[in-house]
Amino acid sequence: MKKTTTRLADGRELIYYDSADAVVRDAVDLRPLEPVSTDSDLRADRLLGDTVAIASHRQGRTYHPPADECPLCPSREGRLSEIPASDYEVAVFQNRFPSLTGDKGRCEVVCFTSDHDASFASLSPAGARLVLDVWTDRTQDLSQMPGVVQVYPFENRGEEIGVTLGHPHGQIYGYPFVTPRTSLMLRNAAEHLQRTGRNLFDDVVADELADGRRIVLEGEHWTAFVPYAAHWPYEVHLYPKRRVPDLLGLDEDARAEFPGIYLELLRRFDRIFGEGQPPTPYISGWHQAPFTAADRRDFALHLELFTIRRTSGKLKFLAGSESGMSAFVNDVPPESAAQRLREVASN
């Protein structure tokens, strides 16, 4: 993988990732951009113990532009975009409308492909492997940045999720704090270790394998299952069989198998609700150990993939119980969801 780092006209960092070393990336951003002006503020909620980012400048971010004005497509004559090159494989740049900035974290955009009409599921195995290597490289780089405590690579897919740009892309957040979800995992893992002497993540995966009803897909190096207490109608957790704290810990065998496993999961998601249905909206993200964790080796890297669509034409809205009290009610039994995800396997 070749990595070429440059700057956009307003000073933001842009990185091209290519599979071939011979590729030259020397295009210059010719847009007359003013320096990015942000006003992010982190505020602690004393009752809940979590942190809220206040980022009013995001109100002006680009919203559903026409395809021929997409800011994530390659630049062309008469239409300059965030990507100065006329083509690219994977490109990463600092978000112009970040939720986290400066010593309060970092937000990056990851463009998975230059093809506006593609999706992650339509990538080739080589393309998906390149993105995995990019996620890993960005985790490494962000871990060295002052103030970054935890790195979360994720993809929001679909207008129902709130995606404002149709081009296939994801984001990476470098948080300056440990997120509430991860804090809960760490606390429960520590309590489980003290009570049983065993690793909680290992026990969760072992219990799913022993039960078998919620296993969706299993490879030599990865296991995918619908969790016993799934919060979302269709939710899959993907774990490497060898526990590692983050993407940097994956060995070559796991990296080589990942594209086939993950692409199959995404393609099954698009088939859940039958032929002729629009693409399934989803959120997919890597959960990695915070760099400040007391014993990072006890945390298990895993990917969580879920959709807010509960059946054809109907969404799972987070209403009173979920939004008001964080007490989820799932409309689809996890065993039924797993069975459906097995039924729509590729031939």
Positions annotated as catalytic residues are 169
Tokens (6 digits) for 147 = 């103030």
- How many other C-beta atoms can be found within 10 angstroms of the C-beta atom of residue 212? 10
- In whole angstroms, how far apart are CA 148 and each of 136, 171, 249, 299? 15, 15, 19, 18
Task: Give just the sign of the alpha carbon dihedral 328, 333, 334, 338.
Answer: negative
What distance, in Å, lies between the first and last C-alpha atoms of the chain? 32
The side-by-side arrangement of strands in the sheet containing 169-175 is 2-7, 13-18, 90-94, 106-111, 169-175, 150-157, 282-287, 302-307, 234-240, 222-225, 215-218
Region at 274 (left for phi over 0; alpha for psi -120 to 50; beta for the rest): left
- What does 101-119 look like in DSSP terms, one character per residue? -GGG-EEEEEE--S-TT--
Q: Give bridge partners of residue 83 from the DSSP assignment.
A: 74
